[in-house]
Amino acid sequence: MPLDPRSLGAALNENLTLHSALCRREASAFLKAIESGDEVLVACTQEKRLFTELAEQTQEAARGLPERAGAGYAPIRFVNIRETGGWSKDAAQASPKIAALLAAAHLPEPEPVATVTYKSAGRLLIIGELGAAEHAAELLGDELDITLFTQGAGDTMGYGGAMQERRYPVLGGQIQALTGWLGAFELKWLRNNPINLDLCTRCNACLVACPEDAIGLDYQIDLGLCQSHRACVTACKVAGAIDFSRAPEALSETFDLVLDLRATPAFTQHALPQGYLRWNGRDAKPLLQLRALVGEFEKPRFFVYKQKLCAHSRNAKTGCTACIDVCSASAISSDSHRQQIKVNPNLCVGCGTCTTVCPSGALSYAYPRASEQGVKIKTLLSTYTRCGGKNAALLLHSQEGGTRLLGDLGRAAQLEGAIKGATHGGTYQGTHGVPARVLPIALWHTSSLGLEVWLTAVAYGAAQVWVLLTDEEAPQYHEALRSQMAVAQAILTGLGYQGEHFRLLHARDARDLAALDRDLQAPPAQCVSRSASFAVQADKRATLELALDHLIAHAPLKATVIALPASGSPLGALAINKDTCTLCLSCINACPAGALQDNPQSPQLKFIEKNCVQCGLCVQTCPEKSLSLVPQLNLTPQRNEAVVINEMQPYACVRCSKPFGTLKAIEAMLGKLGGHSMFQGAALERLKMCGDCRVIDIYSAQNETKITDL
């Protein structure tokens, strides 16, 4: 890969020195750079560990020097331009891309946010067959405070029941619930076995005495086999551990960590609570992770929730449930009492998919913020374009699995045709690597960005936005991203932008590198004629509107209405059946976005399409079922205006002639109540009066029965 430090320096507005052996012969240049106190950016991740160790050693040695007293060191940053740019068939044209990656790496770190704290004292609960549980406890050593919950003696892992020596506390019975997270797990169980494991000494006398072999090496009685001979009670007379008359007892206990050995886990969601691990008896990774989960830990509070914008519930009616349905950690639930959602920050894993599918922006991603991601995307694309790059494609991938796959792909391109068998029996023949026009962006999670940022990237000049998915993502994330991309693509297609602008790429491991390589060679789609200059806003809807305004203004095709997919669309109109609508206006109180309005001077229902988030609360609230959602993008000026979608003749009070309702509503009420015994004669006539006249008529009527008469 030819690197031109002069052109790269001009793109970054600084003087660059090219190093070819920085981690070996030229290590002194790196040490000199960090001693200067300036920010250091290393454009290679191959020897990240070495550079970090060299920096730590240099800083440690300098602490004792008087001339360095109080002096600090700027942080060291790393960016990979080798596998993602240099090892490719397009390496000769990769200079604009490399400049863009270097420019983005210079951006400041995300602003700190509130954190979530976990405290673990190492109290570990191991659930499983007793022999296997004791084996796992032995492997974990003495660093953890271990309690076992027996699920039978078992021999599925070849341990053949409990050890003779009791080394750990053992619980037994029926598990009723296990909830919580790292440092705060709560186990609820029913102790319903005649043998008290706290008193049992494992003398085995009961096993010998039982004629039905109803007692196993988990020292619990199988009540289905027991024939009530009670020989075990006699054999255990000294210890007194067996009591058939003891009533079942509901108990609970808290733990910091849980290791589950069962085939059916306690938690079934894709993203398990932190501190809860499963073990198959072979892979040592979960055991090593448990040993490290002792102490105090922090993570960012990844989300911000604005209840006023939430379209989940109003007036005991449920509208949008997108975030609840998509959450893979079971961290979001409905709070029916407060008519809003409830997010548990301890369970949240920071995937951000809830913020992606939220139509109103009530949930937003906090770390990094959308505005910070927007600056990064704009920096990448503007630098790439300024250096002569064309038809840029953004490749959003995860920091772990995605980065590893792109590294493997770059290596495959470098070794193309050189060795065999490196890709599970295949060869590297024909591998292109990451194209020069593809700009990779590593995210904490690939589903944390949605269509408003994707469309913004297109407005900034990107030809395409691709999202690389691996086995890390939950299945529901695939569908959520697919529906969002369908909406975004429908918008661009309706505006006349040619080609496929959005795509999900799937790759599990090295077996899928050939398919990934082919996907990355896809032809570019049509770009916007002029790049946008607006910034990504903290408010999701504001960003979406800015992107739409720019894309519409430079659209190749002038349309009026673009039909959008029904699933996942945050944009749309409202259809109304005027024959059934009584203009009761209950839909106005249900709307969380201010899309529905009334007219204080006349019976009218107004609708502002720009504000509608397609949550469906108005549809659920309407007593006549007169409303339905219409997912679309209206390109006419009326989209921003309050348009009257229904109006009626007012009904005049029969006593004072003041209008107080609509003719259809009053007639419908009279029709429903006219046959009721409580609304006959004068009572029925009062339904035709305004509120003031109704009170006057009640008190002035001579034949009205009053409570004072009673």
DSSP string, 192-260: --SB-TTT-----HHHHH-TT--B-TT--B-TTT--S--HHHHHTTTT--B-TTPPPEEEEEEESEEEE
β-bridge partners, 661? 651
Do 372 and 381 meet the contact criterion of CB atoms below 8 Å apart? Answer: no
Do 337 and 331 meet the contact criterion of CB atoms below 8 Å apart? Answer: no
CB atoms within 10 A of CB 259: 25
As a residue count, the chain comes to 710
Dihedral of CA 450/452/457/458: which sign? positive
**Matching fold, domains 368-558 and 573-647:** no
What is the overall mean pLDDT for the chain? 90
- Give pLDDT, residue 382: 96
DSSP string, 162-175: --SS--S-EE-SEE
CATH of domain 308-357: 3.30.70.20
DSSP string, 406-420: HHHHHHHHHTTTT-B
Do 303 and 116 meet the contact criterion of CB atoms below 8 Å apart? Answer: no
Q: What is the mean pLDDT of residues 339-359?
A: 95
Q: Rounded to the nearest 10 degrees, what angle do helices 95-105 and 370-386 cross at? A: 150
pLDDT of 424 strictly over 50: no
- Give pLDDT, residue 428: 57
- Measure the CA–CA gap between 124 and 128, rounded to whole angstroms: 13
165 pLDDT tier (thresholds 50, 70, 90): confident
Which two structure tokens, joined as six digits, stand for 226? 């027991």
Q: What is the mean pLDDT of residues 217-243?
A: 91
Rounded to the nearest 5 degrees, what angle is found at the Cα of 708, between the Cα atoms of 706 and 710? 85
- Measure the CA–CA gap between 276 and 408, rounded to whole angstroms: 31
Contacts of 471 by beta carbon, 8 Å cutoff, 6+ apart:
401, 508
Poorest-confidence range of 158-162, 272-276, 511-515, 656-660?
158-162
Q: Is 220 exposed, middle or buried (0-12, 13-18, 19+ CB in 10 A)?
A: buried
- Measure the CA–CA gap between 79 and 539, rounded to whole angstroms: 30
pLDDT of 124 strictly over 80: yes
Do 460 and 381 meet the contact criterion of CB atoms below 8 Å apart? Answer: yes
Greater confidence (8 vs 593) lies with 593
The pTM score is 0.87
Q: What is the mean pLDDT of residues 17-35?
A: 84
Do 171 and 189 meet the contact criterion of CB atoms below 8 Å apart? Answer: yes
32 pLDDT tier (thresholds 50, 70, 90): confident
User: pLDDT tens-digit profile of 172-219?
Assistant: 999 999 999 999 999 999 999 999 998 999 999 999 999 999 998 889
Going from N- to C-terminal start, the domains of the chain cover: 5-78, 118-297, 308-357, 368-558, 573-647, 653-700
Do 580 and 626 meet the contact criterion of CB atoms below 8 Å apart? Answer: yes
Query: CATH topology for 573-647?
Result: Alpha-Beta Plaits (3.30.70)
Query: CATH topology for 368-558?
Result: Rossmann fold (3.40.50)
22 pLDDT tier (thresholds 50, 70, 90): confident
Do 41 and 19 meet the contact criterion of CB atoms below 8 Å apart? Answer: no
